[in-house]
Amino acid sequence: MASPTAEARAIRTSSTRAPALAAAALLLTTIPVHSPATAAAPDPGVRNGGAERGTTAWSVSGEPGARLSTSTTSRSGSRAVRVHSERPVRARVDVRASTAARDRARGTTGTAEVWIRTAATGQEVTVVAREVTASGRWVQSRRRSTTPTADTWTAVRVPLTTRRPGSTLRVRLVLPANDSGLDVLVDDVSLTTGPPRASVAAGLLTTGCRHSARGIPSCGAYFGAAYGANTDPAPFEQQAGRRLGVRRTFFDARGVASAVRHATADLARGRLPWISFKLPHSWEKMAAGAGDAWVTDLARRLAALDGPVWVAFHHEPEGDGDIDAWRRMQEHLAPIVRGSAPNVAYTVVLTGWNQFYGDAAYRLDNLWPRTKVDVAGFDLYNEYGVVKDGRRITEFPDFDDRYFRRLQTWAAEEDVAWGMAEWAYTDEGHAEDPDWIERTFDQMVARGGVAAAYFNTEVNAYGSWRLGSGSKRQDFANGLRGSAALPLP
């Protein structure tokens, strides 16, 4: 079957306890600014990342009780730094950084960037960018405060233009005290020179729920569809009486430019683009780096778009090759995409049935990538009435019992959002249960699923999935009503 990809769910921190942050400070020293002035091009500065090699480059001081550890709830790579304590304490966390001396003059622009994540809304965070002399004397500082949404990675960026040649730029993260113990995740700390990067913002959905910069909703779910052969869904939306919350499209490796055009059009219409790609090389070669330039180019093009995008590579891999090579490919590509495009959610799409009822090689414990994935998508079909191997399927499945409750438990353990990247049922199934689409979507949402894309097409279809009748379209429209969508620009 042609598989759309999809799913996303609000990511939770490694601790469910509300983080209590007691005047903690993260200090990073980078980028000497030397004289005389030279016309140096902007450089990448220092990116300290997270904790891929543990916390050996980090240290904590201040009042006793604050500790450092690593967490697999990371923004990029496989780990982030966790700062935590059992009681309110004052703490300072330093991360060692070094950079080659470069000629910098007065007027050099630097941008401090820190990605943080908390377990509860209401924690204010301030990032301070400072300029000091070679001897450590204060020259100036700039600060920016934010109150991040819980369970969402938030970037705080502070630009600063130097006043003295030969000075040094530093960045500090200040976490004002509250009544509980310290519990904060920190990742991708950096200080770069050159123009500040455009901010990728979280925002509000049409339901009033928030979404992360990568489009993960904090509550509720997107409801949408794949339509035709990547066909403009405007006529279908007119029939349904509402625009789609998510749109699934499919491209081969040569279709990057077309995919970007489709995603641009979808964002302009308030639809979340959910794109599947086939790859330019085999899984084995992609895992070894042969496709890095292709993936980086794709990620950078998507990063330039004005809104979130979801991407999957080779969905429904079961039976297409060495599944271990597929897993290694995903583990190699995910950090590239997530590190290059803060607005792009990395998604992995599977058939669903194979993970729970098929060969052991396809079980989630065996094939799930050992890296950060934003959304797990499953392609779930109600095959009532389909003829397979000469036998007509007469079982009408209960998706909530067969899939959703299992996925809810697994996704919570894996700390990943989930949903239905493809789903559909036959005309025979609709005659048996004319309200199945609306009810099944509601069941998915109740179990924490964040997206569902109905397979409204005859492309590569082996069942009568298309919403071809007025009553079947009405069932879809009933489910679409009240679901989440991005606001119109």
How confident is the model over 345-397, as pLDDT tens digits? 999 999 999 999 999 999 999 999 999 999 999 999 999 999 999 999 999 99
Residue 37's pLDDT band (boundaries 50, 70, 90)? very low
Between residues 94 and 258, which one has the greater pLDDT? 258
Mean pLDDT over the full length of the chain: 83
Write out pLDDT tens, residues 89-132.
Answer: 676 666 654 332 233 445 666 777 778 888 766 667 777 777 88
Q: What is the rounded radius of gyration, in angstroms, for the C-alpha atoms of the chain?
A: 24
pTM of this structure:
0.64
Tell whether the model's pLDDT for residue 251 goes beyond 90.
Answer: yes
Residue 272's pLDDT band (boundaries 50, 70, 90)? very high
Tell whether the model's pLDDT for residue 436 goes beyond 60.
Answer: yes
What pLDDT shows up at residue 193? Answer: 62
Residue 314's pLDDT band (boundaries 50, 70, 90)? very high
Other residues' Cβ atoms within 10 Å of the Cβ of residue 92: 18
Other residues' Cβ atoms within 10 Å of the Cβ of residue 437: 28
Mean pLDDT of 273-294: 97
Residue 41's pLDDT band (boundaries 50, 70, 90)? very low
Residue 388: is it exposed, middle or buried by C-beta count within 10 angstroms (0-12/13-18/19+)?
A: exposed
Residue 305's pLDDT band (boundaries 50, 70, 90)? very high
Write out pLDDT tens, residues 157-168.
Answer: 777 777 887 777
Both tokens of residue 355? 């993970």
What pLDDT shows up at residue 94? Answer: 66
Write out pLDDT tens, residues 450-463.
Answer: 999 999 999 999 99
Tell me how far apart the alpha carbons of residues 52 and 181 are, in angstroms, rounded to a whole number: 25
Tell whether the model's pLDDT for residue 307 goes beyond 80.
Answer: yes
Mean pLDDT of 478-484: 95
Tell me how far apart the alpha carbons of residues 343 and 321 are, in angstroms, rounded to a whole number: 31
Pairing state between β 375-382 and 344-350: parallel
Tell whether the model's pLDDT for residue 465 goes beyond 80.
Answer: yes
What pLDDT shows up at residue 133? Answer: 81
Tell whether the model's pLDDT for residue 447 goes beyond 60.
Answer: yes
**Would you say 437 and 427 are in contact if contact means Cβ atoms under 8 Å apart?**
no
Write down the residue that tokens 């201040």 correspond to. 62
Residue 11: is it exposed, middle or buried by C-beta count within 10 angstroms (0-12/13-18/19+)?
A: buried
* SS3 per-residue string spanning the chain: CCCCCCCCCCCCCCCCCCCCCCCEEEEEEEEECCCCCCCCCCCCCEEEECCCCCCCCEEEEECCCCEEEEECCCCCCCCEEEEECCCCCCEEEEECCCCCCCCCCCCCEEEEEEEEECCCCCCCEEEEEEEECCCCCEEEEEEEEECCCCCCCEEEEEEEECCCCCCEEEEEEEECCCCCCCEEEEEEEEEEECCCCCCCCCEECCCCCEECCCCCECCCCEEEEEECCCCCCHHHHHHHCCCCCEEEEEECHHHHHHHHHHHHHHHHCCCEEEEEECCCCCHHHHHCCCCHHHHHHHHHHHHCCCCCEEEEECCCCCCCCCHHHHHHHHHHHHHHHHHHCCCEEEEEEECCHHHHHCCHHHCHHHHCCCCCCCEEEEEEEECCCCEECCEECCCCCCHHHHHHHHHHHHHHHHCCEEEEEEEEECHHHHHHCCCHHHHHHHHHHHCCCCEEEEEECCCCCCCCCCCCCHHHHHHHHHHHCCCECCCCC
What pLDDT shows up at residue 192? Answer: 67
Tell me how far apart the alpha carbons of residues 394 and 3 are, in angstroms, rounded to a whole number: 23
pLDDT > 70: percent of the chain: 81
Task: Give the HSE-up count for residue 30: Cα atoms under 13 Å, Cβ half-sphere.
Answer: 25
